[in-house]
Structure 1
């Protein structure tokens, strides 16, 4: 009797673990459904028309945290690294200004992401993207306001002189 009760409890625990794992994986896959099987962006992109200006983007999300001037968190997508720009790190001159600028533009707002088609994640697993808010290219604004410098790491669809830099 005792043995069969242990087996039944073990069986129930195993089934519960399997169900929870499947639920987690399904949720994780849904948050990354803009990637295809080989890790590159899918061909589905959208155009956002702002003041007669068309902006290409792959995914829209909500910025719920700004980590620093070139990194933010977007609900349902994850950590985003603004591609092609480099802002000062904590403790460096200009850190607060760059971070405050990105907070003022992105935090608590809808963001549109043009994800790098050639290299969509960096070595830390952050999604590489140009970020648009209210039709404004945040990556380019950081450069224009001198809160950031150009950072080109190949391969990238965003090369100096084109795309986000123009």
Structure 2
């Protein structure tokens, strides 16, 4: 179990991002904001002034988050920035157009083995059961049987509908 935990922890993206953003409705607005930032405008001030999102009042501050906590386009844009840099092209999401400033990154601690031990055990049990069922299926001699009426019809010996073919009629009581 410990080996599985170690392998899975290595695959985790534990990077956390601290960022600000300015959300606007139109791409042209975002482009104008980027131009102002390139001329030295203060990001937090612009966010308070122009952002339509709830974080605008806090200068666009989003706090710490992981890439997966954001919509994909936003997460990808943040992950592509270096601390201190902002997006040079607006980022479109279902919420609108974003200009993003990455302030800092850090590595979050991996969950301890004790915290995830039960989940690892369950995952290993499911994997073992799935492998066992696949083995049984691969080794099984499976034959699909057709009902007798379907065999007769497919062989051309079936009776036409309504002419007494198929199931025999029960005999009347005597």
Q: TM class, shorter-chain normalised?
A: under 0.3
More helix by share: 2
Structure (1 or 2) with the larger CA radius of gyration: 2
More strand by share: 1
Ranked by relative contact order (alpha carbons within 8 Å, sequence separation 6 or more), the top structure is 2
Question: Under a length normalisation based on structure 1, what TM-score does the superposition of the two structures give?
Answer: 0.21
Question: Under a length normalisation based on structure 2, what TM-score does the superposition of the two structures give?
Answer: 0.20
